[in-house]
Amino acid sequence: MLMILLSVMLGAVIGSFLNVVIYRLPKALCGEEISLSFPASFCPECLHPLRWRHNVPVLGWLLLKGKCADCRSAISPSYPLIEALMAALFGWVVWQHGPSVDAAIILFALCLLVPLACIDAKTMLLPDRLMYPLLVSGLAVAFAGRGRIDWQDACLAAALGYAVPWMLSKIFYLLKKREGLGGGDIKLFAALGAWVGYTQLWNIMMISCILALLSGLILLKVKSGQAFPFGPYPIIVTILIFLIN
């Protein structure tokens, strides 16, 4: 029980760091003079630095009642939600696998998948700075014999995960004269394939397409030809695979 509690606390702290990645990485890629370590955490409205107690995961947001201590502008609830999500994920994985190498590998993957999903949902970007580590680490885990699939399956799934969406995207472009999938989505499927293998990859593709279609029509009310972020759907399905298998 103590180990699970410590894992939950660690997950919340890492979730706080992932909030920094989610907010700052797209801005840095767009040319803003900002990094993951500088400047210190600040209010995006008044730019006033946050006090140390306001950086405590989840509790800091509750202490502030969701508002900046200086300008009283609203602070997005996405911050404590990401921290709480990572706390729950860490606790669940350690409860399932114990404090083991397998748990560490899964948690590493989750620490890349969660910010990728959030960044894509907010900006429709899937940064290579997170994508390539996801792909390379998936292949490395398979080659080391520590993954859920062997290295042959990982390489084949990564290749198919790139080739099949790329080909479908080109066919769609020929028919509709517009892109069907972004380059980031194609690389995402390659990276996911390296982690889960080609059998699970087909499941991810089919389920995520259904979820995206239903979400686009019902929740987002996307109009024909209107682009919307697709990456969160295969990522959500992949996270569920990690958690229940």
The string of pLDDT tens digits covering residues 69-119 is 778 888 889 999 999 999 999 999 999 999 999 999 999 999 999 999 999
Q: What is the pLDDT of residue 228?
A: 77
Percent of the chain with pLDDT over 70: 96
Please enumerate in sequence order all residues whose Cβ is within 8 A of that of 40, keeping only pairs 6 or more positions apart, or say none. 49, 50
pLDDT in tens, 17-32: 999 999 999 998 888 8
Q: What is the pLDDT of residue 147?
A: 87
**Has residue 42 got a pLDDT over 90?**
no
Dihedral, CA of residue 20, residue 23, residue 24 and residue 26, to nearest 10: 140
Specify which residues 74 forms β-bridges with.
67
Q: What is the pLDDT of residue 1?
A: 81
pLDDT tier, 136 (very low <50, low <70, confident <90, very high otherwise) = very high
Which of 130, 109, 135, 106 lies closest to 119, judged by CA? 130
Where are the alpha helices (H) located in 30-127, listed in sequence order?
59-64, 78-97, 101-123
pLDDT in tens, 168-194: 888 877 887 777 678 899 999 999 999
**Has residue 219 got a pLDDT over 80?**
no
Neighbours of 32 (CB within 10 A): 10
Q: What is the pLDDT of residue 145?
A: 92
Q: Which of helix, strand or coil describes residue 49?
A: strand
CA distance 118 to 103: 23
| C-alpha pair distances (Å), 87 with each of 4, 9, 162, 199, 216 | 10, 6, 32, 30, 29
Cβ atoms 191, 139 nearer than 8 A? no
Minimum mean pLDDT range among 1-5, 47-51, 55-59, 115-119: 47-51
CA distance 12 to 5: 11
Average pLDDT over residues 199-218: 89
DSSP H/E element including 183: helix 183-214
The residue type at 100: S
Cβ atoms 169, 113 nearer than 8 A? no
Q: What is the pLDDT of residue 200?
A: 96
Q: Which of helix, strand or coil describes residue 221?
A: coil
CA distance 76 to 147: 36
Residue 91 token pair: 């606790």
Percent of the chain with pLDDT over 90: 63
Sign of the dihedral defined by the CA atoms of residues 187, 239, 114, 129, in that order: negative
CB-based burial label for 75 (10 Å; 0-12, 13-18, 19+): buried
For the chain, strand residue ranges (E) read none
